[in-house]
């Protein structure tokens, strides 16, 4: 279930410039509205939160609800710092499973 | 050569007309009472986010297709006009899909380090409905925007 998320970082950001980061993670995002063949409700299991940090400080986060599509895609902007800094991306689902990845935000 | 083409056009037109008739009938059936109920429900949903504040219809831009063929993944992008400085930035953007079984889609939290109050993602839409994006600014003010999306195939399962 915990496949590696796909993250697209900018190649070379200029310090102070807002750059776009695109993320995609595989997840069923089961809404809890659907029923299985036997008529039993399939319990909800969605990624309920996403956090992106830059050098350990939160830059962008999201609270997701069942209205977000499966394999949630999120694109957002980050203002590039003065030097290359590590970013960490974390997804948490209803079952408590955490998916995370680290990528450097290259400045230069 | 021209005649078959003309015939084809007539057929298409009558088909479109009858389809429109059915749609009008469906709208008629749901009636004004249902609409009034919807309006109250939407008001309650918005109130949950903004409290007693009156959000101004400005600064928030929703980029979403007018017609979504597949309600399972409807791409959207939200941007909010803001300098995104420490003194003046967008704190949170709430997305509400009024016609979904659970209307909450997502809430996105920004910081001045975001540089730009922009987010793009994909949402599920169960049926044709209004989408609201409500932005809460760092000074506590609210701005919002609304867009109607027509959904051909709903995406909330049954």
Best to test chain B binding among A69, A70, A82 (most B CBs inside 10 Å): A69
Angle (CA) B110-B142-A88 rounded to 5° is 10
Select the residue of B111, B115, B122 nearest A58 (Cβ to Cβ): B111
pLDDT higher than 90, residue A95:
yes
Highest mean pLDDT among A52-56, B19-23, B44-48, B153-157: A52-56
Residue B117 pLDDT: 97
Name chain A contacts of B112, Cβ cutoff 8 Å. 79
Residue B87 pLDDT: 95
Q: Chain-wide mean pLDDT for chain B? A: 83
Instruction: For residues B98 and B67, give the distance between their C-alpha atoms in angstroms, rounded to a whole number.
Output: 16
pLDDT higher than 60, residue B55:
yes
Query: Measured between CA atoms, how close is A102 to chain B, in angstroms?
Result: 18
Query: Measured between CA atoms, how close is B134 to chain A, in angstroms?
Result: 14
**Span of A28-42, B22-36, B74-88 with lowest mean pLDDT:** B22-36
User: Quick check: B122 and A72 CB within 8 A?
Assistant: yes
Q: Is B10 strand, coil or helix?
A: helix
Tell me whether residue B53 is exposed, middle or buried, using C-beta atoms within 10 angstroms of its C-beta: 0 to 12, 13 to 18, 19 or more.
middle
Select the residue of A20, A73, A78 nearest B113 (Cβ to Cβ): A78
Q: Which residues contact B44 (CB under 8 A, 6 or more apart)?
A: none
Instruction: For residues A68 and A27, give the distance between their C-alpha atoms in angstroms, rounded to a whole number.
Output: 11
Instruction: For residues B57 and B81, give the distance between their C-alpha atoms in angstroms, rounded to a whole number.
Output: 12
User: Quick check: B158 and A72 CB within 8 A?
Assistant: no
Residue A105 pLDDT: 97
Residue B41 pLDDT: 86
Residue B153 pLDDT: 79
How confident is the model over B22-37, as pLDDT tens digits? 555 444 445 555 666 6
Angle (CA) B83-B121-A10 rounded to 5° is 65
Which ipTM was obtained for this model? 0.94
In chain B, pLDDT over 70 holds for what percent of residues?
74
Q: Which residues contact B82 (CB under 8 A, 6 or more apart)?
A: B59, B88, B89, B90, B117, B137
pLDDT band at A3 (very low <50, low <70, confident <90, very high): confident
Supply the pTM of this predicted model. 0.84
Q: Which chain B residue lies closest to A81 (C-alpha atoms)?
A: B113
The H-assigned helical ranges of B51-125 are none
Average pLDDT over every residue of A68-97: 96
Residue B2 pLDDT: 44
Q: Chain-wide mean pLDDT for chain A? A: 95
pLDDT higher than 80, residue B17:
no
Name chain B contacts of A66, Cβ cutoff 8 Å. 100-102, 104, 124
Is the pLDDT higher at A20 or at B20?
A: A20
Query: Measured between CA atoms, how close is A12 to chain B, in angstroms?
Result: 16
Residue B156 pLDDT: 63
Select the residue of B84, B110, B120 nearest A75 (Cβ to Cβ): B120
pLDDT higher than 50, residue B4:
no
User: Quick check: B157 and A69 CB within 8 A?
Assistant: no
pLDDT higher than 70, residue B11:
no
């Amino acid at each position: 279930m915990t496949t590696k998320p796909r993250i697209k970082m900018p190649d070379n950001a200029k310090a102070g410039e807002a750059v776009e980061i695109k993320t995609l993670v595989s997840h069923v995002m089961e809404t809890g509205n659907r029923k299985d063949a036997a008529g039993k409700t399939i319990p909800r299991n969605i990624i309920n939160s996403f956090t992106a940090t830059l050098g350990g400080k939160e830059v962008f986060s999201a609270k997701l609800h069942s209205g977000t599509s499966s394999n949630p895609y999120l694109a957002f902007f980050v203002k590039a710092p003065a030097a290359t800094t590590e970013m960490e991306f974390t997804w948490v689902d209803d079952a408590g499973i955490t998916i995370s990845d680290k990528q450097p935000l290259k400045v230069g | 050569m021209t005649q078959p083409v003309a015939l084809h056009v007539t057929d298409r037109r009558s088909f479109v007309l009858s389809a429109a008739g059915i749609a009008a009938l469906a709208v008629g059936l749901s009636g004004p009472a249902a609409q009034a109920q919807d309006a109250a429900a939407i008001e309650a949903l918005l109130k949950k986010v903004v409290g007693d504040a009156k959000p101004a219809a400005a600064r928030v831009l929703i980029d979403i297709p007018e017609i979504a063929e597949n309600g399972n993944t409807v791409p959207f992008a939200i941007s909010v006009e803001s300098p995104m400085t420490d003194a003046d930035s967008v704190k949170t953007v709430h997305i509400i899909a009024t016609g979904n079984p659970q209307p909450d889609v997502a809430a996105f939290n920004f910081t001045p380090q975001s540089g730009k109050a922009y987010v793009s993602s994909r949402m599920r839409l169960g049926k044709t409905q209004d989408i609201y994006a409500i932005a809460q600014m760092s000074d506590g003010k609210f701005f919002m925007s609304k867009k109607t999306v027509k959904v051909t195939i709903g995406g909330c399962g049954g």
